[in-house]
Amino acid sequence: MKEPLLNEAKKDYCEPMHTCEHILNETMVRMFGCGRSVNAHIERKKSKCDYMLSQAPTEEQIIEITNRVNQVIDSHLPVYEELMSREDASKIADLSKLPEDASETLRVVRVGDYDACACIGQHVDNTSELGCFEIISHDFENDRWRVRFKLTPKGEL
């Protein structure tokens, strides 16, 4: 496990699921033009993310989300961190959820060239460590789409 940088405590997330959350977030941004998840609960067995959308994704779009996330995972992208100024980070990542007391030097986690996010969480070193992404349930209420997902080892779906 990597050591925290800048004396900041990292969230105690399951590394594969947390890395998968980054990929899911960027997939949602690219497909729907929405923001990253407004709420997330990341656990080892299953996780959930909430997205603000004007309408629920269709079943075809849900299949497409699953396919795109798995394509990124199957690309075996490196997952790494970079320290950069808040100004530089703002050019490649959405900093709207950054706490006001965040330092001027930020830790930006990248998933290859697919995603960049200011984050203090723990991550795998390569997307090949994630397994298969599967949406297990979802619901839509008051412009909030909640998606529940899990990761399974390759070949177990």
Q: Can you give the CATH number for the domain in which 19 is found?
A: 3.30.980.10
Mean pLDDT, rounded, for 35-51:
95
* 112 domain residue, yes or no: yes
pLDDT at res. 100: 83
CB atoms within 10 A of CB 31: 13
Q: How far is CA 37 from the centre of its chain?
A: 8
pLDDT at 13 over 70: no
Of the CA atoms within 13 Å of residue 39, those in its CB half-sphere come to: 7
Q: How many domains does the chain have?
A: 1
Q: What CA–CA distances, in Å, run from 74 to 32, 46, 47, 105, 131? A: 22, 20, 20, 32, 9
Q: Would you say residue 4 lies in a domain? A: no
Is residue 1, in this structure, part of any structural domain at all? no
Give pLDDT, residue 112: 97
The range of the structural domain enclosing residue 22 comes to 15-152
The answer to the question of residue 135 being in a domain is: yes
HSE of 73, CA atoms in CB hemisphere, 13 A? 26
Give CA–CA dist 39/146, Å, rounded. 9
List, in sequence order, the alpha helices (H) in 4-152.
Answer: 15-32, 59-74, 86-90
Q: Residue 65 corresponds to which tokens in the numbers above?
A: 């989300």
Please write the tens of the pLDDT for every residue from 63-121.
Answer: 999 999 999 999 999 999 999 999 999 999 999 888 888 899 999 999 999 999 999 88
Written as six digits, the tokens of 23 are 């990929």
Over residues 128-137, the mean pLDDT reads 96
Query: Which amino acid belongs to residue 58?
Result: T
Residue 2 domain flag: no
The pTM assigned to this predicted structure is 0.89
Q: Share the mean pLDDT of the chain.
A: 90
Residue 105 placed within a domain:
yes
Helical segments of 75-140, H only: 86-90
CA 12/CA 103 separation, integer angstroms: 20
Residue 98 confidence (pLDDT)? 87
Confirm whether 6 is domain-assigned.
Answer: no
> Is residue 132 in a domain?
yes
